[in-house]
């Protein structure tokens, strides 16, 4: 239960888009933790995170659903997403926001770009 309400199994499992992006990350040899619980008091999770470099990725599908069926397009859900992402930024994370279309069109390209940012932000030890 979260805040007195039950989480459905669907809310805790990765979406097809997240699975596709995970495969793309693996294809370009970028390791990120999935469903990373980043906040000390809230139960928020980032879809993908590299803790050492503080780079995160949030994948939001359903951006073009005409009936408003995309959960991330509804007012309350959008406000909650913004609050979570702003908290991650306050904690030092760089948060990439990817739409479903971005992941479907070029998952490997995005994985490479994000991998480059991780590499640039990771302190190299001599």
pLDDT at 124 over 70: no
HEC profile for 13-65? CCCHHHHHHHHHHHHCCCCCEEEEECCCCCCCEEEEEECCCCEEEEEECCCCC
Asked whether residue 1 carries a pLDDT value surpassing 50, the answer given is no
Report pLDDT for 12: 55
Q: Where are the domains of the chain?
A: 22-30+61-120
Coil, helix or strand for 93? coil
Is 9 a residue whose pLDDT tops 60? no
- Residues 72, 18: Cα–Cα separation, whole Å: 14
Q: What is the pLDDT of residues 50-101, one digit of tens each?
A: 999 999 999 987 654 444 454 445 567 788 999 999 999 999 999 999 999 9
Instruction: Please report the pLDDT score of residue 58 as a whole number.
Output: 96
């Amino acid at each position: 239960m979260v805040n007195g309400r039950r989480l459905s199994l669907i809310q805790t499992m990765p979406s097809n888009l997240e699975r596709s992006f995970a495969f793309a990350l693996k294809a370009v040899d970028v390791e990120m933790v999935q469903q990373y619980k980043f906040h000390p008091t809230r139960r928020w999770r980032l879809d993908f995170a590299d803790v050492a470099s503080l780079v995160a990725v949030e994948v939001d599908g359903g951006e073009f659903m005409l009936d408003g069926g995309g959960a991330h397009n509804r007012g309350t859900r959008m406000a909650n997403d913004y609050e979570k992402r702003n908290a991650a930024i306050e904690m030092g994370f760089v948060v990439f926001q990817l739409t479903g279309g971005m992941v479907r069109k070029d998952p490997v390209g995005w994985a490479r770009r994000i991998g480059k940012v991780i590499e640039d932000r990771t302190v190299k030890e001599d």
